[in-house]
């Protein structure tokens, strides 16, 4: 066992319901798990001491939506978008071709680099989806690789219909619900479907999600990215843990979310990278909807893994305070993954703590683009 005390914390954001923030505090972690939280003056001794230098300490970010197992890049597509071309789901197929052609080691090297970059920016819990293989073997491979770095793995065989099934999409949905699910479920915690005019319909998604549930997986949905497409209602109907994007929502969607346990996960880096309007986080919070903020890091619609930038965009463009944005990026993400052991700093928390070169969490939005994460302590799977 090894213990470490993080001492001399000016502002400690703990997100306990009655008390989100403490001042002049310390935290003790044993083998990466929080064992004690209290006043700095009362901090017990530990094997090692980390000095927060009077700065802010926050929970490790929970990035509940990413696609990090892939090869190649789509920088040219990004440049074209910035010149005015719209985002379309079809670009996914070019990443599928590159990913199928890559070796396990190539995919693993890219994946571990991306995970290390995320951790350096304060992310300690990371959900990773498949979805760039789209064959039984390639989807299972993506999930096996993702499992090497996280327990939060999601089967997304229903990302798009691959080119070889273009004339028989029903056969592809059969494959996803049958052999592909059987091969992938042992490596996955979740099943997800991309509902979009260029991807899957609500009825196809219902079939796939119900098959995933029968195989023991929890449910997540991509919906409302490019239009209000009926996906939010489906996510709520099926009790999905999270419905992600939510860029376009009807009033009925908002009401349904407010009456549900489904988290609305907002992905503002996608809006940034696709020039879409930002989702209205204020409208959701005021209606009583639980929200999360995640990156959706992927080679197409957004290739940033920066939770601090996502949070800053939420503050700048989506009507929330820095504390609300930070809550969505930590405890909100935990809720979207149905986890209570990450996203907070309380005894038993496994999500680690992040030391900032800043006196307050608000600086994450105030000093946008500046690397404020000085050190990440703890965080265990
Ligand atoms: O969440 N929306 C679907 N999937 C990704 C985009 C993937 C891609 O363009 O490669 C997303 O934005
Ligand atoms: Fe996504």
Atom of ligand 1 minimally distant from the CA of 156: 4
Query: How close is the Cα of 301 to the center of ligand 1, in Å?
Result: 5
How many angstroms separate the CA atoms of 266 and 63, rounded?
11
Number of H helices, E strands in the chain: 15, 16
Ligand 1 pocket mutation, candidates 65, 81, 89, 129, criterion most atoms within 8 A of CB: 89
179-182 contact pairs (CB < 8 A, 24+) = 179/136, 180/135, 180/136, 180/139, 180/140, 180/155, 181/155, 181/157, 181/211, 181/212, 181/215, 182/215
Please state whether the predicted TM-score (pTM) of the whole model is above 0.85.
yes
Q: Summarize pLDDT for 285-303 with one digit per residue, the tens.
A: 999 999 999 999 999 999 9
Contacts of 270 (CB under 8 A, 6+ apart): 225, 245, 247, 276, 296, 301, 302
Atom of ligand 1 minimally distant from the CA of 87: 9
How many angstroms separate the CA atoms of 187 and 148, rounded?
10
Regarding beta strands 56-59 and 3-16, do their DSSP bridges make them parallel or antiparallel, or are they unpaired? parallel
Provide the 3-class DSSP secondary structure of residue 50: strand
pLDDT at 263 over 90: yes
DSSP assignment of 283-321 equals HHHHHT--EEE---B-SSS-----HHHHHHHHHHHSS--
Q: 380 phi and psi, to 5 degrees?
A: -130, 155
Residue nearest to atom 12 of ligand 1 (CA): 301
Residue 2, pLDDT score: 96
Atom of ligand 1 minimally distant from the CA of 245: 1
Residue 344, pLDDT score: 98
Q: Are 9 and 24 in contact (CB under 8 A)?
A: yes
pLDDT at 3 over 90: yes
* Mean pLDDT of the region 170-198: 98
Q: Please report which residue ranges of the chain form alpha helices under DSSP H.
A: 75-82, 92-101, 104-120, 136-147, 169-175, 181-184, 202-214, 231-237, 251-258, 268-274, 281-287, 307-317, 322-329, 331-336, 363-366
Ligand 1 pocket mutation, candidates 128, 224, 299, 300, criterion most atoms within 8 A of CB: 300
Residue nearest to atom 1 of ligand 1 (CA): 296
* Mean pLDDT of the region 344-354: 98
Query: How close is the Cα of 170 to the center of ligand 2, in Å?
Result: 23
Query: How close is the Cα of 121 to the center of ligand 2, in Å?
Result: 20
Q: Summarize pLDDT for 232-257 with one digit per residue, the tens.
A: 999 999 999 999 999 999 999 999 99
Residue 89, pLDDT score: 84
Ligand sitting nearest the alpha carbon of 65: 2
- Name every protein residue with a CB atom under 6 angstroms from any ligand 1 atom: 67, 91-92, 95, 194, 222, 225, 270, 296, 298-301
Indicate the average pLDDT of the chain.
Answer: 98
Instruction: Place 90 in a pLDDT band, splitting at 50, 70 and 90.
Output: confident
Atom of ligand 1 minimally distant from the CA of 91: 9
How many angstroms separate the CA atoms of 109 and 105, rounded?
6
Query: How close is the Cα of 42 to the center of ligand 2, in Å?
Result: 44
Atom of ligand 1 minimally distant from the CA of 222: 2
213: which 2 tokens?
């549930």
Residue nearest to atom 3 of ligand 1 (CA): 194
How many angstroms separate the CA atoms of 103 and 222, rounded?
28
Ligand sitting nearest the alpha carbon of 242: 2
pLDDT at 147 over 90: yes
Q: Are 327 and 292 in contact (CB under 8 A)?
A: no
Burial class (CB in 10 A: 0-12, 13-18, 19+), 216: exposed
Instruction: Place 84 in a pLDDT band, splitting at 50, 70 and 90.
Output: very high
Ligand sitting nearest the alpha carbon of 231: 1
Cα dihedral across residues 152, 153, 155, 156: positive or negative: positive
Query: How close is the Cα of 226 to the center of ligand 1, in Å?
Result: 11
Query: How close is the Cα of 341 to the center of ligand 1, in Å?
Result: 28
Q: Are 26 and 375 in contact (CB under 8 A)?
A: no
Closest by CA position to 280, among listed 309, 249, 308? 249
Residue nearest to atom 6 of ligand 1 (CA): 301
Identify the structural domains of the chain with CATH numbers, from first to last: 3-59+344-377 (2.30.40.10), 61-336 (3.20.20.140)
Please give the angle made by the CA atoms of 250, 337 and 104, to the nearest 5 degrees.
110
Ligand sitting nearest the alpha carbon of 224: 1
Q: Summarize pLDDT for 51-77 with one digit per residue, the tens.
A: 999 999 999 999 999 999 999 999 999
Residue nearest to atom 9 of ligand 1 (CA): 300
To the nearest whole percent, how much of the chain has pLDDT over 70?
Answer: 100
């Amino acid at each position: 066992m090894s213990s470490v005390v993080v001492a001399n914390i000016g502002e400690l954001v703990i997100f306990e319901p009655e008390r989100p923030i403490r001042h002049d505090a310390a935290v003790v972690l044993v083998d990466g798990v929080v064992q004690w939280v209290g006043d700095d003056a009362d901090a017990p001794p530990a094997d090692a001491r980390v000095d927060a230098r009077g700065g802010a300490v926050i929970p490790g970010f929970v990035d509940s939506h990413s696609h990090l197992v892939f090869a190649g890049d789509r920088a040219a597509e990004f440049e074209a978008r910035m010149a005015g071309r719209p985002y379309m789901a079809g670009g996914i197929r070019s990443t599928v071709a590159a990913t199928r052609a890559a070796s396990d080691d190539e995919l693993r090297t890219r994946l571990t680099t991306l995970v290390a970059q995320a951790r350096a920016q304060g992310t300690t819990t990371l959900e990773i989806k498949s979805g760039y293989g789209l064959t039984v073997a390639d989807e299972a491979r993506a999930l096996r690789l993702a499992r090497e770095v996280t327990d939060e793995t999601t089967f997304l065989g229903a990302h798009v219909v691959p080119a070889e099934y273009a004339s028989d999409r029903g056969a592809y949905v059969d494959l996803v619900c049958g052999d592909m699910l059987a091969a992938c479920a042992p490596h996955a915690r979740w099943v997800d479907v991309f509902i979009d005019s260029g991807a899957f319909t609500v009825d196809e998604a219902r079939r796939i999600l119900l098959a995933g549930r029968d195989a023991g997986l929890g449910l997540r949905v991509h919906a409302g990215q490019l239009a209000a497409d009926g996906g939010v209602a489906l996510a709520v109907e099926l009790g999905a843990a999270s419905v992600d994007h939510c860029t376009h929502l009807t009033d009925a969607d908002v009401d349904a979310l407010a009456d549900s346990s489904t988290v609305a996960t907002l992905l503002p880096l996608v809006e940034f990278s696709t020039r879409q309007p930002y989702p209205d986080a204020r409208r959701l919070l005021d209606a009583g909807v639980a929200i999360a903020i995640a990156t959706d890091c992927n080679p197409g619609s957004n290739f940033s893994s920066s939770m601090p930038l996502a949070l800053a965009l939420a503050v700048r463009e989506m009507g929330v305070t820095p504390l609300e944005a930070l809550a969505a990026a930590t405890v909100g993400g935990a809720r979207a993954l149905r986890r209570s052991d990450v996203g907070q700093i309380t005894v038993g928390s496994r999500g680690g703590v992040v030391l900032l070169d800043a006196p307050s969490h608000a600086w994450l939005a105030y000093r946008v683009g500046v690397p404020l994460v000085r050190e990440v302590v703890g965080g265990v799977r």
